């Protein structure tokens, strides 16, 4: 199982949101570069990095920070936020990003998703951000009636590296992940799935790891690291 400590960037700073609400935001002292370096020094092999400004604007904004991190440390970067075109993907990969996350553009246009996955083999992940099972778009601002369980059937045969399944109502709350819904979703596909949203403690992580749920590839951990609910050093030993 792969653990992805998360870095969300807004205004060049590390931040965390509660339930995707940009009016409920916490800013942290460490720069994204310093935070990435700490994760690397502790032995993490992967970082989940989201350009929140990019997600809102529909165009990557914090590219310079992403490039600096990629040049600074040898770590697998999974990056998303505002990725809407093949050029966006190509630029991030040129920075050394290992996995590019697409969301809004891929859900609106499955043809775009197919083209991206064919052109950038095993480099594309798709973010499915859901409220009560239905997908939200554009930095979680636009709610659709598309059920994630229906949508996944349409993308099953596309060469997608992984699916990031985020329960928006859990994200940033540290109330525990919506594991039942995530597992039920993961059983509908052969594409590896990451658990995202609500991780509150080391026990949440250990439980998911020890149960070896079918098709659950890993976990994204965010707010619980930043406010100290999870000891990052202990988390690094679970890798």
Active site residues: 8, 129
Give the HSE-up count for residue 9: Cα atoms under 13 Å, Cβ half-sphere: 26
Provide the token pair at 232: 């990052």
Count of H helices and E strands in the chain?
11, 12
- Closest Cα partner for 127 from 112, 114, 141, 140? 140
Provide the token pair at 230: 């999870």
Largest CA distance in the chain: 43
Letter string b/e over residues 117-126, b meaning 16 or more CB atoms within 10 A of that residue's CB: beebeebbbb
3-state SS of 104-155?
HHHHHCHHHHHHHHHHCCCCEEEEEEEECCEEEECCCCEEEEEEHHHHHHHH
- Closest Cα partner for 174 from 1, 16, 44, 3? 16
- Closest Cα partner for 89 from 106, 72, 76, 75? 106
């Amino acid at each position: 199982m792969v653990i992805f400590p998360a870095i969300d960037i807004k205004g060049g700073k590390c931040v965390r949101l509660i339930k995707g609400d940009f009016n409920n935001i916490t800013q942290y002292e460490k720069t994204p570069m310093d935070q990435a370096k700490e994760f690397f020094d502790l032995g993490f092999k992967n970082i989940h990095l989201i350009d929140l400004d990019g997600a809102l604007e529909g165009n990557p904004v914090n590219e310079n920070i992403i490039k600096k991190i990629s040049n600074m440390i040898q770590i697998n970067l999974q990056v998303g936020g505002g990725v809407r075109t093949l050029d966006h993907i190509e630029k991030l990969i040129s920075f050394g990003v290992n996995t590019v996350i697409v969301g809004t553009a891929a859900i609106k246009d499955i043809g775009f998703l197919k083209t991206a996955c064919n052109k950038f083999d095993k480099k594309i992940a798709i973010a499915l951000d859901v409220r009560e099972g239905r997908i939200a778009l554009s930095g979680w601002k636009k709610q659709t009636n598309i059920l994630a369980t229906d949508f996944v059937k349409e993308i099953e045969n596309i060469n997608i590296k992984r699916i990031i399944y985020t329960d928006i109502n859990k994200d940033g709350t540290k109330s525990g992940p919506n594991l039942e819904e995530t597992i039920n979703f993961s059983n509908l596909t052969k594409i590896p799935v990451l658990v995202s949203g609500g991780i509150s403690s080391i026990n949440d992580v250990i439980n998911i790891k020890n149960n070896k749920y079918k098709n659950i590839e890993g976990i994204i951990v965010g707010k619980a690291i930043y406010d100290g609910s999870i000891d990052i050093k202990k988390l690094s030993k679970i890798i």
